[in-house]
């Protein structure tokens, strides 16, 4: 079938199938918030919000969603999973103000025979009883053919028989699920092509699962075969490996198949974050579209290419999803990565100072994988204030601290070309370091000045892995002097700041003696 551009409905089942993810249970308030965001902001075509008869909390949530949907003009776009139980599921949905039932029926002969102990004819009779009751009560009826993918593979005549029995029953959507996620794209295309040709007047939905990591590819195959409605979830939530990802499906259908969709992509990431927070299931940093790192260039050569002509940009631009591109700072950074970050901060450094800052970034990258743009002002201040005095140089240092125990510091330090070893003790790692350094510096007739102030800062954002800036104010015989240093470990940031004051004073002493 031609894949000429046509409108594809997206039905989001985050609140029903997504809630079958291990450990996920949305509160009524959370369900209402997600439903509103999906319909009003993301503008999906339909949402499936619950299973009938589950709990009173579920009933409360569905009632509130339906009340809001009617007020805002979304009536008929809220769906609830129901069961072949004649009146019970239908009445439950009616009591919540619902207008659509998605009836779960047996789409494989094995399920029908083994789980229900019934023949196709008996199951059809039960299904039609519930369908007719729902239609009499004014509900729109869709049906799920549970385990359809295996049913079609194992006994297609059962599937055809079921469809023949139901095709004239007034059912709006026949929803064909790959319940166990077993299909390949080729199998999806073949089976849906057959179904669409056999029943050209019926509306088919595809409900994929991601057990083989093929959900998005399978969606493409289903649309190519003629399907016009796809089920998916936010953040790929769902049983086992989850369902098809809403974000992936949306961009693939638009970019790769040129299909028309209703959704507003600029809200995808915001809603992904909402669902992440409510579900407690974290999104992988490299998840397409919504992952924290997917619009970050790490390699310096990529930043250089973007700087010179957008060589590493694609249709999946961050602005499309209300995000921004960033350029990681670390040991793989190049001059272009630094320039991109300086532009974001509206900072201008000379070529010489850029080289110094980049060298420090690369060095820090060996101990901290990624340095953020927020870290950059600390690094710049530290580098530009630094003097290349090497009168004292830290060769090695070990700090040990414990609860209700004195901290210890073991040092190897080179002073004026001579290597010294010393240990110190104190109330904390920095105090122990100062004790050890003073023991070494006694031989050089030097005592560290007293602290007038001591400040530790991290960039805004509160990340525990952030670089730490230590600014120490020293009382140097009545004159207050400041040194600063940056390190991923706050104790070592303080140690580096302390070494700076020693270097400065030793240098000045040498000048005076000269």
Q: What is the 3-state secondary structure (H, E, C) of 391-407?
A: CEEEEEEEEEEECCEEE
Residue 52, token pair as written in the block: 């009938």
Q: Among candidates 21, 489, 45, 514, which has minimal Cα distance to 249?
A: 45
Catalytic residue among 19, 146, 239, 248: 146
Active site residue 58: no
Confidence of residue 273 (pLDDT cuts 50, 70, 90): very high
More confident residue, 339 or 136: 136
- Give the pair of three-digit tokens for residue 115: 């789980």
Whether the per-residue pLDDT at 403 is higher than 80: the answer is yes
**CB neighbourhood size of 75 (10 A):** 14
Record the pTM. 0.69
Q: Is the pLDDT of residue 245 over 90?
A: yes
- pLDDT tier at 113, thresholds 50, 70, 90: very high
- Is the distance from CB of 123 to CB of 147 less than 8 angstroms? no
Residue 442 or 316, more confident: 442
- Residue 1: pLDDT band (50, 70, 90) is very low
> Average pLDDT in the 435-461 region?
88
Give the model's pLDDT for residue 457.
81
Q: Is 351 a catalytic residue?
A: no
| Number of helices followed by number of strands (H, E) in the chain | 17, 16
Region of poorest pLDDT, from 129-138, 286-295, 364-373: 364-373
Q: How confident is the model at residue 325 (pLDDT cuts 50, 70, 90)?
A: low
Question: Of these residues, 16, 48, 109, 469, which one is catalytic?
Answer: 16
Of residues 223 and 369, more confidence is placed in 223
- List alpha helices for 324-450, DSSP H: 335-345, 351-365, 376-385, 429-441
Nearest to 103 by CA among 88, 115, 122: 88
Q: How far apart are CA 297 and CA 384, in angstroms?
A: 26
pLDDT at 430: 94
- Alpha-carbon distance of 102 to 471, in angstroms, equals 64
């Amino acid at each position: 079938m031609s894949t000429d551009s046509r409108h594809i409905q997206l039905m989001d089942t985050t609140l029903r199938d997504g809630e079958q993810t291990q450990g996920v249970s949305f509160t009524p308030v959370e369900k209402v918030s997600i439903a509103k965001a999906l319909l009003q902001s993301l503008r999906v075509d339909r949402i499936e919000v619950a299973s009938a008869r589950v709990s009173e909390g579920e009933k409360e949530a569905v009632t509130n969603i339906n009340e809001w949907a009617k007020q805002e003009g979304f009536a008929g776009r809220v769906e609830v999973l129901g069961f072949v139980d004649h009146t019970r599921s239908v009445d439950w949905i009616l009591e919540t103000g619902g207008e659509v039932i998605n009836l779960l029926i047996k789409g494989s002969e094995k399920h029908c025979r083994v789980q229900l102990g019934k023949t196709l004819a008996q199951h059809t009779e039960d299904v039609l009883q519930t369908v007719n009751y729902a239609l009499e009560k004014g509900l729109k009826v869709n049906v799920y053919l549970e385990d359809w993918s295996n049913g079609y593979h194992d006994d297609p005549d059962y599937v055809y028989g079921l469809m023949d029995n139901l095709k004239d029953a007034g059912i709006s959507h026949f929803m064909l699920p790959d319940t166990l996620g077993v299909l390949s794209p080729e199998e999806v295309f073949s089976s849906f092509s057959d179904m669409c040709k056999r029943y050209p007047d019926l509306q088919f939905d595809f409900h994929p699962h991601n057990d083989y990591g093929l959900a998005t590819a399978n969606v493409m195959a289903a649309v190519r075969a003629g399907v016009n409605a796809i089920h998916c979830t936010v953040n790929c939530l769902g049983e086992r490996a989850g369902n098809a990802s809403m974000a992936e499906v949306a961009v693939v259908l638009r970019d790769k198949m040129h299909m028309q969709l209703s959704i507003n992509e600029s809200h995808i990431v915001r809603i992904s974050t909402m669902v992440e927070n409510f579900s407690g299931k974290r999104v992988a940093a490299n998840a397409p579209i919504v992952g924290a790192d997917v619009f970050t260039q790490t390699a310096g050569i990529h930043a250089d290419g973007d700087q010179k002509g957008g060589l590493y940009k694609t249709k999946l631009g961050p602005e499309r999803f209300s995000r921004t591109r960033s350029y990681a700072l670390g040991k793989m950074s190049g001059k272009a990565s630094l320039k991109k970050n300086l532009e974001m901060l509206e900072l201008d450094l000379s070529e010489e100072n850029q080289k110094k800052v980049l060298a420090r970034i690369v060095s820090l990258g060996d101990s901290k994988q990624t340095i953020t743009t927020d870290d950059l002002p600390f690094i710049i201040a530290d580098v530009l204030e630094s003097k290349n005095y090497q009168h004292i140089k830290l060769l090695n240092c070990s700090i040990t601290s414990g609860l209700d125990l004195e901290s210890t510091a073991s040092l190897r330090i080179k002073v004026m070309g001579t290597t010294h070893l010393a240990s110190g003790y104190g109330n904390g790692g920095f105090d122990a370091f100062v004790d050890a350094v003073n023991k070494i510096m006694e031989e050089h007739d030097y005592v560290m000045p007293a602290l007038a102030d001591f400040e530790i800062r991290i960039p805004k954002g509160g990340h525990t892995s952030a670089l730490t800036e230590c600014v120490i104010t020293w009382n140097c015989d009545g004159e207050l002097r400041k040194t600063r240093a940056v390190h991923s470990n706050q104790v070592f940031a303080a140690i580096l700041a302390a070494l700076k004051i020693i270097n400065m004073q030793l240098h000045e002493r040498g000048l005076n003696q000269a």
